[in-house]
Structure 1
Amino acid sequence: MKKIIIIASCFIIAIITGFVLMTFRDAGEFKILQPHSKYKCVKIANIPSPEDIAIDHSTGLAFISSSDWRAAMKGEFHQGAIFSYNLEGTPVLRNLTADLKIKFLPHGISFYAAPDGRKYLFVVNHPLPRNCVEIFEIQKNSLVHRETVEGKLIISPNDITAVGPRQFYITNDHGSSSALGKKLEDYLRMSRSNIVYYDGAKMRIVADGFSYANGIWATSDGKRLYAAATTGKKFYEYERDADGNLKPYSQLDLGTGADNIDVDAKGIIRIAAHPKMITLLKYLGSKEIQSPSQIVEVFKNEKGGYSFKETYLNIGDELSASSVAAGYKDRLLVGAVCENHFLDCRAVK
């Protein structure tokens, strides 16, 4: 009997050890990183957690979401903000929501230019314990709050892409709303997150089965939609019809924890990523720990599918945990999950 217990115990330990090693491998913890960059960057400081960036390419005005995520993870609320940063003039940070009366903890954002000339900024908001979407109209470099959109399908919203003055897609990065449920999804790599479409009146799930759905981007012609999965480490492309339905078209294994997606005026697709995801979790718990930053460019290959190339990799000393890489002409703005600065970069010629 004692021998059976010993054998069973060894078997259980072996299974647990194997699971832990597999988890660390899949999270990229055994990767050997070789930092490099095609950019020369300067740090733009004094902006808490510049997690997402959207650019108006007609004016060069960048919009940056800012929230104290470390405080939020502890259950503390600090009013967040949307900052502007002028890429065509004096590059000074300006708080556009200093007088906003609603509870505001912005996350993913999306710029939308309507056919009638009006411009909007859509913002995922986490006014704890609720989740919603705020719609602002952009007027003379200021934000006018127009609407708050709520719904039962907005469970754990992360990113957003606008396709009309009141229409948008969001990613739910988890299918669970509880902290325990989210942890189980992450560590067991459960594919329970989804994409939700709001047509201006109703919400519906239009794609699901993702492992931590994160970045999302609709093309300017409205015919294609891109999505990224963090723990799934994938890039997805969908065909989009006039009713907002999505049809899977292609996918690409990135081999890294994909975060937000940006497409610049030239059509270059950039994805900020987390090459070591358990290190990222440690970083979220302590600002003393660095988490690597990575940028990849996704492009069509000769076979008609997609390939990618890495254009930036840093161990975290210049910027930890990159979350977005937004391009404008020869400039690149790189945001981060919990840093107190972002990077303003130029390509090295």
Structure 2
Amino acid sequence: MAIIVTALVALLAIVGGALFPAGRTFYRLQQENRGLQYTADSSCKLVQDPLLRGCENGALHAASGQVFFACAVDLETRSKWFPPAHLLDREAAKEPKGAIVVLDLKTTKARKLDLHNFTPSFHTFGIGIAPSRSDPKSIIISAVNVGLDGNSIETFTHKIGDKHATHVNTFRDEKLLHSPNDVVPIDEDSFYATNDRSKAAVGSLAWGIVGNLGWSKAATVVYKGKDGKARVVADKFTLANGITTSADQKHVYVVDTMAAIVNVYERRHNNGLRLRDTIEVPVLGDNVAVDGSTGAIYVSGVIDIMGCLKDIPMKSPCLSGVVKVTNNTGSDQLYGKKFNADVVHTEFDRVVPAGIAAVDHHLKKSFVAGWHGGVVVCDKVF
């Protein structure tokens, strides 16, 4: 009987891989994560704060030990209004509660930033930060907004420690950024952003499914420069999701969720991107962070594919986790294995599913946050 079951599974995998490219990814993840289960970690605690709800993405400011999150705050609103998931209750969207929330990893205290000179409806889920070139005590914050007024990238300046951020500009481009997912600023005037699907998939759930299954690789990365113009600098993604840069901004890292990979690009002199590496990871990755001290890459995402994706938006407890990618120093590097990609942390019901994680070496802490639930802080470095 075991032989028959094994043969059937193998046959289904072959047929699935032929019918839709995502089938090959799902089969790979199933094999790599076989036997993996949720493991409780006593060093990790859920931060009990109503502001820290639905913080799907966040960016660590290592110098201050603060994390800048894009949070839904009101999960009920997100469950009704979230265009990327075709949740389009416009009445619910009229009272936005989305916010940029700052979490101090040392004290685990959170606060909502007041947004000065900014009035549009704010439904955010993608966020990135960069140091200010004019003030060493300030940072640039860019956030994805899927408001009633349309999709946009909103950029702010913030002095570390202040209670507010000041709006600098709004950028829209319905041709190239019709479905922005994540953003990483370079300075006040320029950024890289992921556009996670084709124009056709924005208005059609069916076309969205076609794209996610790998039949259409229409997702892109867009660069917007100081001249105010945008252009595509990387393409042919199944679902371009999280994006970030190295600490020196010389490299750009992009998660392709449905392919379960991270692409590593080198920034060129004209801000174009040259692909250097493609790294397979054992999760359907959401967002990505890079350790500024070691260069390790942290990718958070879905492990139990069927359990996590059975309802949209994802609410049900399911196995997800954090993957740490490092350079392979073992003997098998001689056979072409350049990287190790290991699951270093798992979540089940506190964070559903894991969407972003990063580490702070100075404080010896890590955090993980996600679509639903709250933010978990661990007294260790993943």
Report what 1:43 is aligned to.
46
1:100-179 map, 5 Å: 100-117=118-135, 118-128=138-148, 130-139=150-159, 140-151=162-173, 152-175=175-198, 176-179=201-204
Q: Secondary structure at the match of 2:306?
A: helix
Q: Secondary structure at the match of 1:36?
A: coil
Equivalent residues of 1:332, 1:345 under 8 A apart: yes
Provide the C-alpha distance between the structure 1 equivalents of 2:276 and 2:40, rounded to a whole number of angstroms. 31
Equivalent residues of 2:141, 2:155 under 8 A apart: yes
- Greater relative CO, 1 or 2 (CA 8 Å, sep 6+): 1
Provide the C-alpha distance between the structure 2 equivalents of 1:249 and 1:162, rounded to a whole number of angstroms. 21
Deviation of residue 183 (structure 1)?
A: 2.1
Report what 2:346 is aligned to.
313
Report what 2:5 is aligned to.
none
Report what 2:367 is aligned to.
333
Q: Secondary structure at the match of 2:346?
A: strand
Provide the C-alpha distance between the structure 1 equivalents of 2:313 and 2:263, rounded to a whole number of angstroms. 30
Deviation of residue 120 (structure 1)?
A: 1.1
TM-score (normalizing by structure 2): 0.79
1:23-34 map, 5 Å: 26-27=25-26, 28=29, 31-34=34-37
Identical amino acids, percent of aligned pairs: 24
Provide the C-alpha distance between the structure 1 equivalents of 2:253 and 2:44, rounded to a whole number of angstroms. 27
1:81-96 map, 5 Å: 81-88=99-106, 90-96=107-113
Structure 2 unmatched runs, 5+: 1-10
Deviation of residue 264 (structure 1)?
A: 2.7
TM-score (normalizing by structure 1): 0.86
> What is the count of residue pairs matched by the alignment?
332
Deviation of residue 29 (structure 1)?
A: 6.4
CA deviations over 1:162-204 (Å, ceiling 9, x no partner): 1122111011111232232212211355322111111122100
In the superposition, relative to structure 1, how do residues 239 and 93 fare at CA in structure 2: closer, same or farther (>3 Å)? same
Deviation of residue 226 (structure 1)?
A: 1.1
Provide the C-alpha distance between the structure 1 equivalents of 2:309 and 2:81, rounded to a whole number of angstroms. 15
In the superposition, relative to structure 1, how do residues 115 and 57 fare at CA in structure 2: closer, same or farther (>3 Å)? same
Report what 1:70 is aligned to.
79
Equivalent residues of 2:286, 2:301 under 8 A apart: yes
In the superposition, relative to structure 1, how do residues 337 and 286 fare at CA in structure 2: closer, same or farther (>3 Å)? closer
Query: For 1:224, which of 251, 257, 260 is the aligned residue?
Result: 251
CA RMSD of aligned residues (A): 2.8
Report what 2:210 is aligned to.
184
User: One-letter code of the match for 2:53?
Assistant: P
Deviation of residue 265 (structure 1)?
A: 3.1
Provide the C-alpha distance between the structure 1 equivalents of 2:67 and 2:148, rounded to a whole number of angstroms. 26
Deviation of residue 279 (structure 1)?
A: 2.5
In the superposition, relative to structure 1, how do residues 24 and 33 fare at CA in structure 2: closer, same or farther (>3 Å)? farther
Q: Secondary structure at the match of 1:231?
A: helix
Report what 1:214 is aligned to.
241
Deviation of residue 207 (structure 1)?
A: 0.5
User: One-letter code of the match for 1:324?
Assistant: I
In the superposition, relative to structure 1, how do residues 290 and 179 fare at CA in structure 2: closer, same or farther (>3 Å)? farther
Structure 1 unmatched runs, 5+: 1-13
Structure 1 stretch 210-219 or stretch 37-46: which is displaced more?
37-46
Query: For 1:282, which of 310, 314, 319 is the aligned residue?
Result: 310
CA deviations over 1:8-35 (Å, ceiling 9, x no partner): xxxxxx99x9449976774356854323
